[in-house]
Amino acid sequence: MIVPYALEISVVCVGIFLLMVDAFLKTDKTTIAWTGVVVLLAIFGLTFALGPMPKGVIPEGFYVLDPTSLFFKRFLLLATVLTLILSVDYSPVYQKFVPAASPQAGLGEFFTLPVFACAGMMFMVSANDFIMIFVALELVTIAFYVLVASMRKNQGSLEAGVKYLILGALSTGFLVYGITWLYGITGYTSLEGIQSVLPRVPEQYQPSVLFGLGLVLVALGFKVAAVPFQFWVPDVYQGAPTPVTAYLSVASKAAGFVVLLRVLEPFVTTPAFQVKVFGILTILAAVTLVLGNLAAMSQQNLKRLLAYSSIAHAGYLLVAVASLSAPGARVAIGFYLGGYLVMTFLAFLVLLNVAKASGGDDIRDFNGLGKRSPVLALGLLIAMLSLAGLPFTIGFLGKFFIFEAALASGQYVLVVLGAITVACGFYYYLKVVMAMYWQPAAPSATSIQVSPFGHFLIGLLVLAIILFGIFPQPLLGALTHL
Amino acid sequence: MNLLLASILIPVLAAILVIAGFNARRTAIFAAALNFLLTLVIVGQFKQDGGYQFLLSVPAVPALGIKFSLGVDGLGVAMLFLSTAVTLAAIAIARPPKANVSWFYASLLFISAGAVGAFVSVDAFFYYMFHELALVPTFLLIGIWGSGDRQTAAWKITVYLAFGSFVLLVGLIGLYLSLPAGSRTWDFRELAQAARIGTLAPAPWVYLTLFFGFGILVSLFPFHTWAPQAYASAPSPAAMLHAGVLKKFGLYGLLRLVTPIFPPAITEPFNNLLLVLLLGNILYVGLVTISQRKLDLMLGYSSVMHMGYIFLGILSWTTIGLAGAALMLVAHGLSIAALFALSGELRERTGTLKFSELGGLARTMPKFGLLFGFAAMASIGLPGFANFAGELMVFFGGFSAGKPVVGLNNFQIATAIAVWGVVISAVYMLRAYRRVFFGPPLERWKDLPEISTHAKICVVGLLILLLIFGFAPQLLVKFVLPAIVQP
């Protein structure tokens, strides 16, 4: 019989093993990343041997292995693999900004920390107890503090690190304070316990429960980059090493949403709290949608634009969270995040390659990319169209499922806002397309060489975007039990 | 292989071949001609009252009842014919640009594939998706190869249409959710059937959302401002394809998804509002058209104006009005394509389309002038052209619509006002014609080359079709009628 947390244990072991390799390896450090990729892919394969387990099997009750958590564990493993591949591509840039105590100093940690963050997030998606959520979250956040600030000679990276650290610590404070309120009233830290007590909470304590939940929502809002807790996002995304940005924007957001869904579960199924909680969520979704999209329109830097777009996508996901009363909402969230993984990593892959060659990630650095490197341009074109939500891409279907759920649960205001913000989205995503195909390249710009493996990866991601955009059934089939 | 699937795949494959490096112009023309021939085969095999034919269905998202289904009835065949005919003319008349030739032709082919795909889809979901597919090539065509303030025009049309299609999507989802859970479907036939037996009971907001969603895409007043500027800036084949074919998507949707589905109890309260808006199209935009000083902007506005008649036909809810609207869909598509083709040719020669800088061109290019005259007359709606038959049927439909009252009911008043639109069209078209082709010949245009043979063939082909359907509208009507009349 397999131990329930076998997956997390093996990922942690991989991390420790890679650190050992780093200590003794004298030659090329990228071997560490490739080893990580291979082993994590093997663990990804192992997840299919492991079925969901009924609740009784794990007596402690702080950990669940249901279809949701299993799906997102696979999701996180894939995201980590893609991050490691991107990190290898990024290592020459990374080297420039790290004090060279020895050749390739710092690379070992740069390749290993994402693995530990992955283990933390895999615990997060299974956590069914506030203590577990808190511990897993800290494991993730500490790994990210180091990763974000690791380019020590780069001012942007240091600034990002400080911002992320201070606001991260603040949000942790909110989380713990919220947990104590909820514990104080219900007497439980486990979500199941809270669920059993909630219907019996006397009316005079209900505001206190909502206050506690509100504090927890603040902390989770920080994780998923929801407005008004988004202030750290643009600077941190811009300053952090590009693979870390991609990782932060995909994996951290997904894990945050899973925790959000789990924490909300007791509250949205209890009639006394339902209406108020959905009200809070609706407001949160509305401001996130509007602010994320409007702020993205004026951006001139692609990394910053993707940061605001990540806020905007958090807005669409929150629309689905606010529509949880509709049967399709959970599937919609899972599908949207799946699509978001593919298109975001594709965008960052191209961004990374272009920035490496031209030394900047402003939109004008992409001028004439259609001529300079047709494959990269095509990849970014598909990524942008999918992020904007054009049909026959996975991004469109994600939006479609979310708005189907929103209409089914009667969230008409959010749908109207969504219609307007989708049009805004077309504006700022097509701005990048415009630069690539309309503007002439700068005279100094050269054509960009991409390795065959890079071509293969771009092709694979493009194929995933289009195939799942036409026939989403395989992905939906994996999500039906959510 | 399913013929309809083939007619979607031919332009897509041709576009891929063009990007891969085949001779762009030849491949594109070959694909367009092949697709037109395929359409003729489909028309030949089509049985006139056999309902939807050439069916193909593959489940795409079973959980939501979404299927990739193709099929055409009489209306679909008519639209398919319009799409492939205009595509052939547009691609044949297109002049290869100086740069990025392959992307230029690939974009045109993608617009064509989107239009064909939309018109042969039986599933509302894919019908919507195919239309959206054409949005990006339009954006690229206007932005890269357009003229004038092309970037503003490209942004405007893209953001406007993205918004409009999203409103439409919300309406479609609303329609889908109006069905009881378990029998939800996107299939046109099943939706109409559900409406007939009463299991589909949509709310009024669904009607309004659908009408305005489609309306934005078809430049219903006051959501029309994207159209003239975009058509003026677009390279002429793009304007031909968009104004001639793609814009008909919305009207086709109204005939398909709104008329057979919404009972009068829901639609009647909004009739007065919509009548005012469509009169805005005919009168307000008509007067704006008269005041234009450039040929391409004038044509853009005139195309917006003519949408008003089609809206009137659809809103009238009568057999003759609906048939007239369907006839006008085809007629307007063909005539506006011919006009944009000619104005594009003119711009190639003179570099300007300002009335103040043109004049007396009939003397240097008599054949060009003659063809433009024919196309202008067709657009005004002169007897003998299909536009006339369509407008006449629409007016009959409009006048016989509504509840009988003492005196005139609102529909009859609106129709009586709308008839004046014909006069307005005559004013702006004839004025434009006089200023461009008559008057003292200017010295600088003395050596303009006459219209080239291939352009002549394209325009004459479109005009011949207009004349055929003008003298024998029954050819089209008997196809369309079984599709739009409720059994």
- Residue B47 phi/psi, 5° resolution? -95, 130
* Spatial separation of the C-alpha atoms in residues B487 and B481, rounded to whole Å: 11
- Which segments of B10-75 are extended strands (E)? 53-61, 66-72
Q: Sign of the CA dihedral B352, B357, B361, B364? A: negative
Q: What pLDDT, on the 0 to 100 scale, is given for residue A349? A: 93
β partners of residue B80: none
Mean pLDDT score, B146-162: 85
How many beta carbons lie within 10 A of that of residue B11, not counting itself? 29
Mean pLDDT score, B338-346: 90
Identify which of A263, A280, A168 has the alpha carbon closest to the alpha carbon of residue A225: A168
Residue A438 with chain B: CB contacts under 8 Å: 143-144, 151
Q: B53-61 and B66-72 as β-strands: parallel, antiparallel, unpaired?
A: antiparallel
* Spatial separation of the C-alpha atoms in residues B285 and B303, rounded to whole Å: 10
Q: Is the pLDDT of residue B386 over 60?
A: yes
* Spatial separation of the C-alpha atoms in residues A123 and A133, rounded to whole Å: 8
β partners of residue B58: B68
Residue B22, burial from CB neighbour count under 10 angstroms (0-12, 13-18, 19+): middle
**Tens-place pLDDT, residues B37-90:** 999 999 888 887 768 888 888 888 887 888 888 888 888 899 999 999 999 999
Cα atoms in the Cβ-side hemisphere of radius 13 Å centred on B419: 12
Q: What pLDDT, on the 0 to 100 scale, is given for residue A482? A: 63
**Tens-place pLDDT, residues B431-475:** 989 888 888 877 787 777 888 888 888 899 999 999 999 898 888
Closest B-chain CA to A370:
B100
Question: Which of A316, A400, A409 has the most B C-beta neighbours within 10 Å, making it the best mutation to test the interface with B?
Answer: A400
Closest B-chain CA to A427:
B159
Site of tokens 């007396």: B360
Given pLDDT bands bounded at 50, 70 and 90, which one contains residue A104? confident
The contacts of residue B476 (CB under 8 Å, 6+ apart) are B78, B326, B327, B330, B386, B469
- Say which residue, A2 or B247, is predicted with more confidence: B247
* Spatial separation of the C-alpha atoms in residues B334 and B470, rounded to whole Å: 12
CA distances from A439 to A351, B152, B334 (A): 17, 15, 35
Residue B167 with chain A: CB contacts under 8 Å: 419
- Say which residue, A247 or A52, is predicted with more confidence: A247
Would you say B83 and B117 are in contact if contact means Cβ atoms under 8 Å apart? Answer: no
Identify which of B325, B339, B320, B319 has the alpha carbon closest to the alpha carbon of residue B425: B339
**Tens-place pLDDT, residues A12-51:** 999 999 999 888 877 788 888 899 999 999 999 888 887 7
Q: Test B133 with A430 for CB contact under 8 angstroms.
A: no
Q: What is the mean pLDDT of chain A?
A: 89
* Spatial separation of the C-alpha atoms in residues A459 and A469, rounded to whole Å: 15
**Tens-place pLDDT, residues A171-203:** 999 999 999 999 999 988 888 889 888 888 888
Given pLDDT bands bounded at 50, 70 and 90, which one contains residue A336? very high
* Spatial separation of the C-alpha atoms in residues A375 and A360, rounded to whole Å: 19
Site of tokens 């990922």: A11
What's at A210, amino acid-wise? L
- Nearest Cα of chain B lies from the Cα of A462 at a distance, in angstroms, of 15
* Spatial separation of the C-alpha atoms in residues B277 and A384, rounded to whole Å: 36
Q: Test A426 with B170 for CB contact under 8 angstroms.
A: no
Identify which of A293, A461, A287, A475 has the alpha carbon closest to the alpha carbon of residue A398: A475
Would you say B325 and B75 are in contact if contact means Cβ atoms under 8 Å apart? Answer: no
Complete DSSP assignment for A185-210: HHS-SBHHHHHHHGGG--GGGHHHHH
* Spatial separation of the C-alpha atoms in residues A176 and A181, rounded to whole Å: 9
Given pLDDT bands bounded at 50, 70 and 90, which one contains residue A57? low
Q: What pLDDT, on the 0 to 100 scale, is given for residue B119? A: 92
* Spatial separation of the C-alpha atoms in residues A274 and A210, rounded to whole Å: 11
Q: Which residue intervals of B351-409 are DSSP H helices?
A: 361-364, 366-380, 386-399
- Nearest Cα of chain B lies from the Cα of A410 at a distance, in angstroms, of 10
**Tens-place pLDDT, residues B14-31:** 998 988 888 888 889 999
What's at A443, amino acid-wise? P
* Spatial separation of the C-alpha atoms in residues A44 and A46, rounded to whole Å: 5
Distance in angstroms between the alpha carbons of the first and the last residue of chain B: 31
- Residue A387 phi/psi, 5° resolution? -65, -35
Closest A-chain CA to B165:
A419
Of residues B60, B136, B163, nearest to A419 (C-beta): B163
Of residues A423, A433, A470, nearest to B60 (C-beta): A470
Distance in angstroms between the alpha carbons of the first and the last residue of chain A: 25
Q: Sign of the CA dihedral B347, B350, B352, B356? A: negative
Residue A423, burial from CB neighbour count under 10 angstroms (0-12, 13-18, 19+): buried
Q: Is the pLDDT of residue A59 over 70?
A: no
Would you say B217 and B250 are in contact if contact means Cβ atoms under 8 Å apart? Answer: yes
Q: Which residue intervals of B46-100 are DSSP H helices?
A: 74-93
Would you say B361 and B451 are in contact if contact means Cβ atoms under 8 Å apart? Answer: no
β partners of residue B123: B187
* Spatial separation of the C-alpha atoms in residues B487 and B469, rounded to whole Å: 26
Q: How would you label A223-235 residue by residue, b for 16+ Cβ within 10 Å and e otherwise?
A: bbbbbebbebbbb
Q: Max alpha carbon distance in chain B (Å)? A: 73
pTM of the predicted protein model: 0.88
Q: What pLDDT, on the 0 to 100 scale, is given for residue A294? A: 92
Q: Is the pLDDT of residue B99 over 80?
A: no
What's at B345, amino acid-wise? E
* Spatial separation of the C-alpha atoms in residues B215 and B209, rounded to whole Å: 9
Lowest mean pLDDT across B130-139, B222-231, B402-411: B402-411
As a 3-state breakdown, chain B gives helix, strand, coil percent values, each rounded to 5, of 75, 5, 20
CA distances from B143 to A370, B93, B148, B154 (A): 14, 20, 10, 5
Interchain contact A46–B (C-beta under 8 A):
no
Is the peptide bond between A228 and the residue preceding it cis, with omega within 30 degrees of 0? yes
β partners of residue B72: B53
Torsion on CA atoms B22, B23, B28, B31, rounded to nearest 10: -60
Of residues B59, B129, B155, nearest to A391 (C-beta): B129
Would you say B460 and B379 are in contact if contact means Cβ atoms under 8 Å apart? Answer: no
- Nearest Cα of chain A lies from the Cα of B242 at a distance, in angstroms, of 18
Q: What pLDDT, on the 0 to 100 scale, is given for residue A458? A: 93
Q: Can you read off the two tokens belonging to residue B323?
A: 């048939």
CB pairs under 8 A between A and B: 84
Q: What pLDDT, on the 0 to 100 scale, is given for residue B145? A: 85
Q: Which residue intervals of B121-199 are DSSP H helices?
A: 124-133, 135-145, 150-178, 188-197
Of residues B61, B151, B166, nearest to A419 (C-beta): B166
Q: What pLDDT, on the 0 to 100 scale, is given for residue B479? A: 83
Closest A-chain CA to B60:
A471
Of residues B129, B162, B173, nearest to A404 (C-beta): B173
Identify which of A337, A161, A344, A95 has the alpha carbon closest to the alpha carbon of residue A243: A344
Question: Which of B156, B169, B217 has the most A C-beta neighbours within 10 Å, making it the best mutation to test the interface with A?
Answer: B169
Using DSSP, state whether A4 is helix, strand or coil.
Answer: coil
Would you say A289 and A229 are in contact if contact means Cβ atoms under 8 Å apart? Answer: no
Question: Which of A386, A427, A430 has the most B C-beta neighbours within 10 Å, making it the best mutation to test the interface with B?
Answer: A430
Q: Is the pLDDT of residue B264 over 90?
A: no
- Nearest Cα of chain B lies from the Cα of A422 at a distance, in angstroms, of 7
- Nearest Cα of chain B lies from the Cα of A382 at a distance, in angstroms, of 11
* Spatial separation of the C-alpha atoms in residues A66 and A53, rounded to whole Å: 6
Q: What pLDDT, on the 0 to 100 scale, is given for residue A56? A: 61
Site of tokens 């380019």: A151
Mean pLDDT score, A62-79: 89
ipTM for the predicted complex: 0.82
CA distances from A168 to A144, A151, B432 (A): 10, 19, 67
Residue A390 with chain B: CB contacts under 8 Å: 132-133, 135-136
Report the range out of A3-12, A77-86, B211-220, B346-355 with the highest average pLDDT: A77-86
Q: What pLDDT, on the 0 to 100 scale, is given for residue A102? A: 73
* Spatial separation of the C-alpha atoms in residues A203 and A214, rounded to whole Å: 17
Rg of the Cα atoms in chain A: 22
Can you say how many angstroms the Cα of residue A315 is from the centroid of all Cα atoms in its chain?
13
Interchain contact A130–B (C-beta under 8 A):
no
Q: What pLDDT, on the 0 to 100 scale, is given for residue A334? A: 92
* Spatial separation of the C-alpha atoms in residues B130 and B119, rounded to whole Å: 9
Q: Test B130 with A408 for CB contact under 8 angstroms.
A: no
Complete DSSP assignment for B455-483: HHHHHHHHHHHHHHHHH-THHHHHHHHHH
Mean pLDDT score, B327-356: 89
Q: Which residues between 389 and 408 in chain A have a beta carbon less than 8 angstroms from any beta carbon of chain B?
A: 390-392, 396-397, 400-401, 403-404, 407-408
Q: Tell me what percent of the residues of chain A surpass a pLDDT of 90.
A: 50
- Residue B50 phi/psi, 5° resolution? -95, 15
What's at A111, amino acid-wise? F
Mean pLDDT score, A377-396: 90
Q: Tell me what percent of the residues of chain A surpass a pLDDT of 70.
A: 98
* Spatial separation of the C-alpha atoms in residues A185 and B487, rounded to whole Å: 65
Q: Test A430 with B130 for CB contact under 8 angstroms.
A: no
* Spatial separation of the C-alpha atoms in residues B206 and B191, rounded to whole Å: 14
